[in-house]
Amino acid sequence: MQNYPEELQTPPVRLISLVGCPDLHPTISTHLLSDQPPIHTLAFPDLSKISFLLPPPSPKDSSESSLSSPPPGIFKRDWLLKHRTKVPAVVAALFPSHHVSGDPAQWLQLCSDLDHLKTVTRSRNIKLVVIIVHSDSKDDINEDRMIALRKRAEVDSKYVVFVNPNDASELMQSLHRLRSIFSELANTYYKDEGRKVKTRIEKRTYNCTELNIRYCFKAAVYAEFLSDWIEALRFYEDAYNKLWEISGIPSKALSIQRLVEIKTIAEQLHFKISTLLLHSGKVTEAVTWFRQHITLYSRLVGEPDAEFLHWEWMSRQFLVFAELLETSSATSLTIPSLGLGTGNKPLTEWEFYPAYYYQLAANYLKQKRSSFEFMLSMYVNVDELERTTESLVPSVYVGQYSRLLEQVDAMVMQTVTDKEFLNDTIAKEKKHQDPLKMITLLKKAYESYSQAKAQRTSSFCAFQVAKEHYAMDDLEDAKKHFDSVASLYRREGWATLLWDVLGYLRELSRKNGTVKDYLEYSLEMAALPISSDFHMLSLRSQDCCPVGPATLEQREKIHNEVFNLVHEKSVLASVEHGKELKVTGDNPVHLEIDLVSPLRSVLLASVAFHEQVIKPGMTTLITVSLLSHLPLTIELDQLEVQFNQPECNFIIMNAERLPSAMMDGDQHDNRVEQAPSLALSSNKWLRMTYQIKSDQSGKLECTSVIAKIRPNFTICCRAESPVSMDDLPLWKFEDHVETLPTKDPALAFSGLRSIQVEELDPEVDLTLNASTPALVGETFIVPVTVVSKGPDIHAGELKINLVDVRGGGLFSPREAEHIADSHHVELLGISCVEDGAKSHLISDEEMKIKQSFGLISVPFLKSGESWSCKLQIKWHRPKPIVLYVSLGYSPLSNEPNAQKINVHRSLQIDGKPAVTIGHHFLLPFRWDPLLLSRTKANPQSDQSLSLPLNETCILVISARNCTEVPLQLVSMSIEADNDGIEEKSCSIRTGSSNLVDPALLMPGEEFKKVFTVTSEINPSKLRLGNVLLRWKRYSRIKDQHDSSIASVLTTQKLPDVEIEFSPLIVCMESPPYAILGEPFTYFIKIKNQSKLLQEIKFSLADVQSFVISGSHDDTISILPKSEHILSYKLVPLASGMLQLPRFTLTSARYSASFQPSMAESTVFVFPSKPPCELAKDGDAGPETCGPISTGLS
């Protein structure tokens, strides 16, 4: 398509011409070009120039219609170009206004210019427009002059346009107007011209078809100018059909040149028709038309000498149509539904793909090449031909060539004979041969088919590309394409096609000089499933690969070639490097065959163990089976069977070849077996069964089988299990006898190439002891004992693991990682017990400990000896865990990589808290401060405890043993919180922090200790600090070892208390006891600590046991910071535990009332004075808050 002239490729565009006033030309032409459809502009600065470009039509042209003899050609070459670039439809003459309205000289000049212009345009029927350019709107032109101008120019008044370039809006208006005028006039012009041509066609004033074709073509072009595509198509088709009339008469032998001309014109007409059809979206019609075009013209081959011209032409047709289809389908991707073609010739999908046409274009190009080469071979001396012929040039008519002769005054075109023409064409063709053109076409087809996901056809194209590269000795590109094609044929099992590709690849590698590739391709070819009765390809084919047709004989021949090379009986001549290819010691060949290699059909190794599990040291059987699809029997020298445990490898020697094989000298330490024969015949399993033994536990797997044929040729074949062995991709479709790789059919379906070797039974006792649950905080000891019962223990290693009992891995919960000690349970250390029961902590080198993991080496133990150690585990929080201990050891030797035996034990241990600590506060006896917060307190509200300010309170701390073992308490104390940060807000006093004799706390028992608390200043909250309790497990055996157990410190924080100022304090004083009938005094002291006057109401109830003197009922006022004392004299009337008269006290200010508790208002009355010495009356005052003795309760 790119070779076509520009005017043919694009639709014609209307042309107008501007003359004079060159400043305005760019404005007008840009405006016209932007129009839709656009108008091209031809601009002349000066009126005088126009006659050069538009010469009056030659008289010969006008007389053309009257000619009855056929014209020398069908189309003139430059006609289309002329109408597109030279002959305008409209000429617009631009005059400045002052020329019109100026002095007579200017006017006269204008008139003569106009006359000149008129003579030029009228002869060609070109329309004329006059444009008057006025620079100022005020310019007024004389009306008479205007009429005179119109008359002179012979134009209608509407074709005289005023343009003012200085006024933008006015200019725009004028441009619009100009555009419509130009468009109208141009249409009229082309319509007129078209009508003229059509009249000629209708009148048929001539009797030659050539002119008819020419007129039809012209009419179509004029219709195209008018964008009348349907009419254009009709006339093009007319022209095409008429052309066929002159060319399609078979009886009429056409000369070579005539045929070339006709085909060139047919090509142009067809191109126009296809373009018009495709642009209007009629893809089906275009394809049908193309098919018809090809059917018609494919018959016009012409003379045998010029046949190559025909093939070239055909190739070009396909190429151009492919390009057209590609560009149009890029814009409108609508492949119409099928079946739209003519009834008996339906269209197929591929006829809508450009790829199809590219492929055929390449095919015709190939045909052209072969026919051209044949042609050349007919010529005796081609070089002579090249020298003698002078170059021909295209003549004035499309598709014609002539010789250019230089004469005295001008160049003269001279017609040439067919012979001369042909010689010239051959010479040119020879000069411009492009070997890559075909590859380009095929590659386009390849890419296009690949896009359409037609992989097989694209592969076929790739194959052709590769063959072209191969022919050009471009081996690298050829190999790349051949390889991709071969993989498809391998996958789909097209053996004959694969044979062809491999034949090329084999030859390629021979040329390249790569012995390995050569052997691989040869072996693959020899193992292809092609049998002798596949007779259809026995015919010798031209296209066949370098190796020859695919037959059994050829396979055998290739087989022999390969093994001759391997046996060093022959060498291979490399074309590329001029050296010989051979398999020698300097150049050994090693082939790898894996599970996906195409060479699996050459050698397939199946390995099956007869058992699935064995004990170490036991022997089992292994069957190694080999299969080859090579056509002839091959003899192996030796086989090496390799395992993942190298000490199990063994070699099978061919007994017949033994002496020669032994000469290799590369014998390993491996076992060597002998086989009577290692002959591998076609499609027959060679089965060999041997004993095998492994001392190492784990997986024993056969990895590969290496076949050695002569010292320098080895094939390494991956071992495959019979159970999972895939069929050979090519042979699985073959109708051949299939045999099993092993004699035992069950093994053939279930055999594995790997076996599990078990571990030896451990002969060692590993015990873990932990009788009681662990206590939080203590260092819990777990003794571990290792006793050897059987063989010695070498290189023993003890692994310790602490695991959360709920599973889920290690017990350092990830969510708690932000806490400092994320491990709730921790392995602290391991202490070892030596023979003399002397324990020592093992040094860091001997053990590695992480928080939940430990590793310790066990010393060498003889049979019967034991070794033990103690694990120290600490619980930070109560949690059950599982302790895993595993002992790995080697029973035989001390080597680091020796076989290990593992013994595992596990023990679940609960971690529990040892003690629970409680506390409560007490106020002094018969001493009741008014705490306002208590009176207001909502009973439901969870208010913290409050204490009165400046008073001494008693704090009782209790510790309960909640374990199942007796504990020994060492000390209990309270430690202030936030040492130093807060100034001392209270004083806590106690006896001694350490107990003189550590208290024994049996399970469930409670220990109490009393502290006094006095708040000194008034903080809102009082921090009491932490209770520190030091304890240890109680052991009856008081030995040295036991005392070494460190005591454990348990800490518990005491809650904060509120400190409150109490405005009133009620204090009752009575003697500790009374004696029947003896009076005593009962004081009630009310202390006002506030700065306010307090009104207190009180009452005292009578009781039968006492006679009372004093006021029963009153309201008193107590001054600030003073004390009021109520005193009563009481005489007991009965003895025993008696209730004192109860009194009630009410504070008006705080609306709080108070009544002492029963315990507070009780006194014991003796019947008579007791005989023992009692404390004096005064000492028995109110109970003071001194240190209270501690003790167990």
Partner 1 sequence: MIVCVAVVGHQNNPLYIQSFTEADDALKLHHIVHCSLDVVDERVNNPRKSGPTLNETFLGLLYPTENYKVYGYLTNTKVKFIMVTTDLDVRDADVRSFFRRFHAAYVDAVSNPFHVPEQKLQYQVKAIDDCSLQTIVDYCHLSCILDGI
Which residue number, 548 or 1025, has a Cβ lying nearer to partner 1?
548
For residue 349, state whether it binds partner 1 (rule: CB under 8 A): yes
Tell me the closest approach of the beta carbon of residue 546 to partner 1, in angstroms. 13
Query: Which stretch, 349-357, 579-587, 638-646, 785-793, contacts partner 1 (CB under 8 A)?
Result: 349-357
Give CA 1039 to chain center in angstroms: 70
For residue 350, state whether it binds partner 1 (rule: CB under 8 A): yes
Query: Which stretch, 12-20, 160-168, 215-223, 730-738, contacts partner 1 (CB under 8 A)?
Result: 730-738
Which residue number, 354 or 399, has a Cβ lying nearer to partner 1?
354
**What are 407's two structure tokens?**
């004469």
Which residue number, 109 or 484, has a Cβ lying nearer to partner 1?
484
Q: Which residues contact 939 (CB under 8 A, 6 or more apart)?
A: none
Tell me the closest approach of the beta carbon of residue 589 to partner 1, in angstroms. 31
Q: Give the C-alpha distances (Å, rounded to integers) separating 692 from 250, 651, 669, 1140.
A: 86, 12, 15, 106
> Are the CB atoms for 768 and 883 separated by under 8 Å?
yes
For residue 546, state whether it binds partner 1 (rule: CB under 8 A): no
For residue 765, state whether it binds partner 1 (rule: CB under 8 A): no
Which residue number, 200 or 506, has a Cβ lying nearer to partner 1?
506
For residue 1164, state whether it binds partner 1 (rule: CB under 8 A): no
For residue 35, state whether it binds partner 1 (rule: CB under 8 A): no
For the CA atoms of 1090, 1093, 1094, 1100, the dihedral, rounded to the nearest 10 degrees, stands at 120
For residue 596, state whether it binds partner 1 (rule: CB under 8 A): no
Tell me the closest approach of the beta carbon of residue 683 to partner 1, in angstroms. 14
For residue 968, state whether it binds partner 1 (rule: CB under 8 A): no
Which residue number, 28 or 362, has a Cβ lying nearer to partner 1?
362
> Are the CB atoms for 688 and 625 separated by under 8 Å?
yes
For residue 346, state whether it binds partner 1 (rule: CB under 8 A): yes
For residue 357, state whether it binds partner 1 (rule: CB under 8 A): no
Tell me the closest approach of the beta carbon of residue 438 to partner 1, in angstroms. 16
Q: Which of 3, 36, 388, 542 binds partner 1 (CB under 8 A)?
A: 542
Residues 108-127 that bind partner 1 (CB under 8 A): none
Query: Which stretch, 454-462, 582-590, 624-632, 764-772, contacts partner 1 (CB under 8 A)?
Result: 454-462
Query: Which stretch, 168-176, 540-548, 671-679, 1146-1154, contacts partner 1 (CB under 8 A)?
Result: 540-548
**What are 896's two structure tokens?**
């680091």
According to DSSP, the residues that pair with 1058 across neighbouring strands are 946, 1021
User: How many Å apart are CA 8 and CA 81, to the nearest integer?
Assistant: 9
Tell me the closest approach of the beta carbon of residue 732 to partner 1, in angstroms. 8
Query: Which stretch, 101-109, 330-338, 476-484, 770-778, contacts partner 1 (CB under 8 A)?
Result: 330-338
For residue 1015, state whether it binds partner 1 (rule: CB under 8 A): no
Tell me the closest approach of the beta carbon of residue 275 to partner 1, in angstroms. 24
For residue 735, state whether it binds partner 1 (rule: CB under 8 A): yes
- Cα of first residue to Cα of last residue in the chain, in angstroms, is 117
Q: Which of 224, 500, 507, 1060 binds partner 1 (CB under 8 A)?
A: 500
Tell me the closest approach of the beta carbon of residue 734 to partner 1, in angstroms. 6
Q: Which of 457, 512, 788, 1094 binds partner 1 (CB under 8 A)?
A: 457
**What are 385's two structure tokens?**
């031909």
For residue 541, state whether it binds partner 1 (rule: CB under 8 A): yes
According to DSSP, the residues that pair with 919 across neighbouring strands are 957
Closest residue by Cα to residue 282 from 355, 338, 337, 336: 336
Query: Which stretch, 389-397, 449-457, 504-512, 1060-1068, contacts partner 1 (CB under 8 A)?
Result: 449-457
Q: Is the peptide bond prior to 1063 cis by the omega test (within 30 degrees of 0)?
A: no
Query: Which stretch, 333-341, 466-474, 664-672, 786-794, contacts partner 1 (CB under 8 A)?
Result: 333-341
For residue 925, state whether it binds partner 1 (rule: CB under 8 A): no
Tell me the closest approach of the beta carbon of residue 345 to partner 1, in angstroms. 9
For residue 749, state whether it binds partner 1 (rule: CB under 8 A): no
Please, which contacts does 577-585 make with residues 24 or more away whose CB atoms are closer than 8 Å? 577/513, 579/513, 581/510, 581/513, 581/515, 581/518, 582/515, 583/515, 583/519, 583/710, 583/712, 583/713, 584/712, 585/711, 585/712
Angle at 263 between CA 257 and CA 269, to 5 degrees: 140
Characterize the bridge pairing of strands 589-593 and 839-841.
unpaired
Q: Which residues contact 26 (CB under 8 A, 6 or more apart)?
A: none
Query: Which stretch, 15-23, 488-496, 784-792, 1119-1127, contacts partner 1 (CB under 8 A)?
Result: 488-496
What is the DSSP secondary structure assignment for residue 837, as one 8-state letter?
A: S
Q: Is 354 helix (H, G, I), strand (E, B) or coil?
A: helix
Residues 1166-1185 that bind partner 1 (CB under 8 A): none
Number of residues engaging partner 1 in binding (CB under 8 A): 42
What is the DSSP secondary structure assignment for residue 842, as one 8-state letter?
A: P
Q: Give the C-alpha distances (Å, rounded to integers) separating 915 from 880, 972, 1002.
A: 18, 12, 11
Tell me the closest approach of the beta carbon of residue 883 to partner 1, in angstroms. 59
**What are 703's two structure tokens?**
């990895």
For residue 236, state whether it binds partner 1 (rule: CB under 8 A): no
For residue 351, state whether it binds partner 1 (rule: CB under 8 A): yes
Which residue number, 494 or 1073, has a Cβ lying nearer to partner 1?
494
Closest residue by Cα to residue 673 from 622, 713, 628, 612: 622
For residue 533, state whether it binds partner 1 (rule: CB under 8 A): yes
Q: Which of 206, 290, 358, 460 binds partner 1 (CB under 8 A)?
A: 460
For residue 344, state whether it binds partner 1 (rule: CB under 8 A): yes
Quickly count helices (H) and strands (E) in the chain.
27, 57
For residue 539, state whether it binds partner 1 (rule: CB under 8 A): yes
For residue 737, state whether it binds partner 1 (rule: CB under 8 A): no
Q: Which of 70, 102, 248, 493 binds partner 1 (CB under 8 A)?
A: 493
Query: Which stretch, 215-223, 370-378, 531-539, 924-932, contacts partner 1 (CB under 8 A)?
Result: 531-539
Q: Give the C-alpha distances (Å, rounded to integers) separating 408 from 402, 405, 411, 416.
A: 18, 10, 8, 21
Q: Which of 138, 431, 540, 818 binds partner 1 (CB under 8 A)?
A: 540
Q: Which residues contact 629 (CB under 8 A, 6 or more apart)?
A: 527, 529, 601, 602, 682, 683, 728, 731
For residue 448, state whether it binds partner 1 (rule: CB under 8 A): no
Q: Is 1 helix (H, G, I), strand (E, B) or coil?
A: coil
Q: Which of 30, 135, 348, 1018 binds partner 1 (CB under 8 A)?
A: 348
User: How many Å apart are CA 805 and CA 883, to the nearest integer?
Assistant: 9
Q: Which residues contact 1054 (CB under 8 A, 6 or more apart)?
A: 919, 974, 1024, 1025, 1026, 1027
> Are the CB atoms for 657 and 635 separated by under 8 Å?
yes
Which position has the token pair 């163990």?
609
Concatenated DSSP letters of 1018-1040: --SEE---EEEEEEEE--SS--H
Which residue number, 307 or 500, has a Cβ lying nearer to partner 1?
500
For residue 515, state whether it binds partner 1 (rule: CB under 8 A): no
For residue 888, state whether it binds partner 1 (rule: CB under 8 A): no
For residue 284, state whether it binds partner 1 (rule: CB under 8 A): no
Tell me the closest approach of the beta carbon of residue 464 to partner 1, in angstroms. 10
Q: Which of 183, 274, 363, 371 binds partner 1 (CB under 8 A)?
A: 363
Concatenated DSSP letters of 900-956: -EEEEEEEEEEEE-SEEEEEEEEPPTTEEE--HHHHH--TTS-PPPEEETT-EEEEE
Name the residues that contact partner 1, by CB under 8 A: 335, 337-339, 344, 346, 348-351, 356, 360, 363, 449, 453-457, 460, 463, 492-497, 500, 533-534, 536-537, 539-544, 732-735
